[in-house]
Amino acid sequence: MTARPLLPEYTPREQDAPTALDGLLVVDFTRVVAGPACTQTLADFGAEVIKIENPDGGDDTRHYEHAEIGGESAAFLSLNRNKRGIVLDLARPEGREVAKALIGKADVVVENFSGGVMKKFGLDYESVAASNPRLVYCSISAYGRKGPWALRPGFDPITQAESGFMSLNGFPDGPPVRTGYPVIDMATGMSACNAILMALIARDRIGRGQHVEVALFDIAVAMTGFFGMTYLITGQNQGRFGNSPNGSPTVGVYEAMDGPFYMACANDRLVRRLMTEVLERPDLVTDPEFATRKARTANREKLRAVLAEIFARDLRDNWIGKMKRVNVPVGYLRTIEEAFNAPELRERHRLSQIPHPTAGTVPNIEAPIGLGMTPVVDPVAAPLLGQHTRDVLRKTLGYDEGRIAELTGAGVFGAA
């Protein structure tokens, strides 16, 4: 077993570098994955994101079982960096008044409650837009905020299953498989962030905000991509191909003498390079059974067996080295442990450690987007439950200690 990588301290950004979203105030009512992923990106690039949680336990991901450090879960830490966290009991009128006051000052509101919840609290777009016409209000849901399924709850794996997306994952002789990580949630979060930024650009042009919506089901359907388009053109249902799209024998996982690798020779030019310069088997290029893409696909099992026998004769590093020298696309098939100790992560400075109020330090996976003039902000760990409540009330809303004491007495921030 490889030891966990030693994480360097985060290297601070240039002191005078501006941020892309400086001055943008985001009120974040989201929880679990898609919504927090969206608002974390906004926070990474300088927006002030105020995350509102229920005082009774907060975001569900605080209690996910993957791992914890300093009393905080890996899931919550990975999705809520650079946010300020407050607690509000929205079931209490006083709590809703605080929420409305924050929305009144906000540029952006993001919510992913079940259908009807924000309207019940008087915090839906129609209820708040009149008093803040420049507000960009983003709703993230499973099946949209309108129509017969607006009240239906849903989660990433359900929309993977119902959209056809899951039917594309796995091997032809096995059942459909959901992706290991909630990829529809993450893609929905990225799409929501894009929608918000587009609405902000439109606001600068037309002078007012708008309501934007993103639904997990819609994103899952869109992510069937060219498989979905192929069905629409041909009427033929698309199946599973495992690690080799369309059954290509020169794309997929192969086993060297000491471990697996992934090779992707997806066109005739790359196949010729593989056969002649790496395998030193020009006969595989001239053989009519393998000479063209259609021929290779028709005889894929035969060619796959030939390649498997050749690759098993030598070490993985040797094969990968040969392929890299002649620009044949190839990579190690790594575990998380191997990937997080790999030179690519070290050289690209993808990992660091940052301070945390209860754990001392926590690991940090760097934001995956780079802007040359407006880099990401220096990362601050995800907040403890309610960590910034008093600070936000004082600095953002201008409440004095007397008002905060009244709200505390009314139970707005939960039980003492």
Cβ–Cβ under 8 Å, residues 36 and 61: yes
Same domain? 107 vs 180: yes
Element (H, E) at 111: strand 108-111
Q: Does residue 247 carry a pLDDT above 90?
A: no
In a domain, 6, yes or no: no
Tokens encoding 256: 């060297």
Same domain? 52 vs 185: yes
Q: Does residue 416 carry a pLDDT above 80?
A: no
Calculate the average pLDDT of the chain. Answer: 95
Give the Cα separation of 77 and 282 in Å (integer). Answer: 52
What are the tens digits of pLDDT across the range 64-81?
988 999 999 999 999 999
CATH of the domain at 197: 3.40.50.10540
Domain that holds residue 324: 260-332
Residue type, 388: H
Q: Return the percentage of the chain with pLDDT > 70, whole number.
A: 99
**What sign results for the dihedral spanned by CA atoms 235, 241, 245, 248?**
negative
In a domain, 99, yes or no: yes
Same domain? 273 vs 364: no
In a domain, 215, yes or no: yes
What are the tens digits of pLDDT across the range 118-147?
999 999 999 999 999 999 999 999 999 888
Same domain? 326 vs 355: no
| pLDDT of 2 | 56
Look up 378 and say whether it is catalytic: no
Cβ–Cβ under 8 Å, residues 232 and 245: no
- Please say which residue of 332, 359, 391 terminates a domain: 332
What are the tens digits of pLDDT across the range 79-88?
999 999 999 9
Same domain? 127 vs 81: yes
Say how many domains are in the chain. 2
Nearest to 139 by CA among 38, 20, 23: 38
| pLDDT of 412 | 97
Same domain? 96 vs 41: yes
In a domain, 337, yes or no: no
Backbone angles phi, psi at 63, to 5 degrees: -115, 10
Q: Of 185, 204, 218, 314, which is the active-site residue? A: 185
Same domain? 61 vs 186: yes
What are the tens digits of pLDDT across the range 187-239?
999 999 999 999 999 999 999 999 999 999 999 999 999 999 999 999 999 98
In a domain, 305, yes or no: yes
What are the tens digits of pLDDT across the range 360-409?
999 999 999 999 999 999 999 999 999 999 999 999 999 999 999 999 99
* Strand duo 260-264 + 330-332: pairing: antiparallel
